[in-house]
Amino acid sequence: MTVSYVIKRLIYLVFTALLVSLIVFSVTQLLPANAATMILGEYATDEALAILNSKLGLDDPAVVQYFRWLGNVVQGDFGISLRTSQPVGPTILNAFGRSAILAITSLVLVCIIAIPLGVLAASRRGKPTDLAVSLVSYIGVSMPEFVLATLLLVWLASPSIGLFPASGYVPFSEDFWGALHHIALPVLTLTIVLTAHISRMIRSEMADTLEMDFIRAGRLRGLSRRRVLFRHALRNSMLPAITVIALDVGYLIGGVIVVEEVFAFPGIGRQLILAIQNRDLPMIQAGALIMAASYAVANLLADLAYGALDKRIKY
């Protein structure tokens, strides 16, 4: 792995981010209505609209708007939210931070649960354990987040049980246990869905690896079952798993959007939906950019990790 490889990837990353912003911007240009309509709401008059449009610079040609936006971003200025008149940068970073807590907690939990589960299933192929794990993971991957989340809400947050709050968010800085209590359901939802996904993946990777010659060779050298399973099979299955987990970051981000909506969790997903609903262009752009960047960075990290772990890969 060379420095030049990393540089190359970073260039790609910037290129990707640029392309993402361009795509998102183009799509937003097509959106019916604009921020001014939303700001004025059901009180708009044509003159008021025109005034607000020119004040917000929404009447400039799209190209001018895009490059103005880009120019500011390059200087680290993400603009002012059209919906709330608050600066976009801090708002989106805050929201992102909260979402990241959700995502990372889920991801860590998933890794702790899913990997052993997948290994277990693969090593007992066709046995009841495998069937049980497979069945559960089938249900897990087949349950859209919003269904799962709603069901959890009905069961665990219903007034009669009231185990968890139905929604909202408490900052960790304010009340640690309260915060934990509040993220429990969203994290549970994401974890269940992702665990199903990743354990299934690990299982199939493992199953493939277990068919490989070197597994048989290990067995026929008299190595113990455990060693063959964990030292050889798992390690070789983890490599492709890393890539898939990184790709799942994209999936996770999508899941986060839904889960935040269901649990009214003030993260980046909700922020983006609000922004789209309100045609809050700077916010949409910043949100999409930050999501795309986290996806790209996750993939980059995965590739680097892959390169570090798998001695065969030469960048």
Residues 239 to 258 in contact with another protein, rule: CB under 8 A: 239, 250-251, 253-254, 257-258
Is residue 128 a contact residue for another protein (CB under 8 A)? Answer: no
- CB burial readout 150-177, b (16+ within 10 A) else e: eebbeebbeeeeeebbbbebbeeeeeee
By CB under 8 A, name the one of 214, 230, 301, 308 that touches another protein.
214
Name the nearest CA neighbour of 288 among 250, 259, 261.
Answer: 250
Choose the stretch contacting another protein; rule: CB under 8 A; options: 45-53, 105-113, 115-123, 300-308.
45-53
Binding positions for another protein, 145-184, rule CB under 8 A:
145-147, 150-151, 153-154, 157-159, 162, 165-169
CB atoms within 10 A of CB 98: 24
Find the shortest distance in angstroms from Cβ 57 to another protein. 15
| Maximum separation of any 2 CA atoms in the chain, in Å | 85
Is residue 226 a contact residue for another protein (CB under 8 A)? Answer: no
Choose the stretch contacting another protein; rule: CB under 8 A; options: 58-66, 71-79, 104-112, 285-293.
285-293
Binding positions for another protein, 57-116, rule CB under 8 A:
81, 83-86, 91, 95
- The residues with which 87 forms a beta bridge, in sequence order, are 80
- Residue 291 · residue 19 · CB < 8 Å: no
By CB under 8 A, name the one of 266, 300, 304, 307 that touches another protein.
266
- Residue 263 · residue 275 · CB < 8 Å: no
CB atoms within 10 A of CB 11: 10
Is residue 309 a contact residue for another protein (CB under 8 A)? Answer: yes
By CB under 8 A, name the one of 24, 194, 246, 286 that touches another protein.
24
> What's the distance, CA 154 to chain centroid?
25
Is residue 213 a contact residue for another protein (CB under 8 A)? Answer: yes
Find the shortest distance in angstroms from Cβ 75 to another protein. 21
User: Residue 127 or 225: which CB sits closer to another protein?
Assistant: 225
Find the shortest distance in angstroms from Cβ 282 to another protein. 14
By CB under 8 A, name the one of 202, 272, 281, 302 that touches another protein.
272
The footprint of another protein on this chain (CB under 8 A) covers a number of residues equal to 109
Residue 258's SS3 state is: helix
Q: Is the dihedral of CA 260, 104, 238, 199 positive or negative?
A: negative
Which alpha helices (H) appear in 57-127, and where do they start and end?
Answer: 62-74, 88-123
Burial zone of 221 (CB within 10 Å; 0-12 exposed, 13-18 middle, 19+ buried):
exposed
By CB under 8 A, name the one of 184, 195, 232, 245 that touches another protein.
232
By CB under 8 A, name the one of 57, 71, 116, 138 that touches another protein.
138
Rounded Cα distance, 153 and 185, in Å: 8
Find the shortest distance in angstroms from Cβ 259 to another protein. 11
- Residue 275 · residue 283 · CB < 8 Å: yes
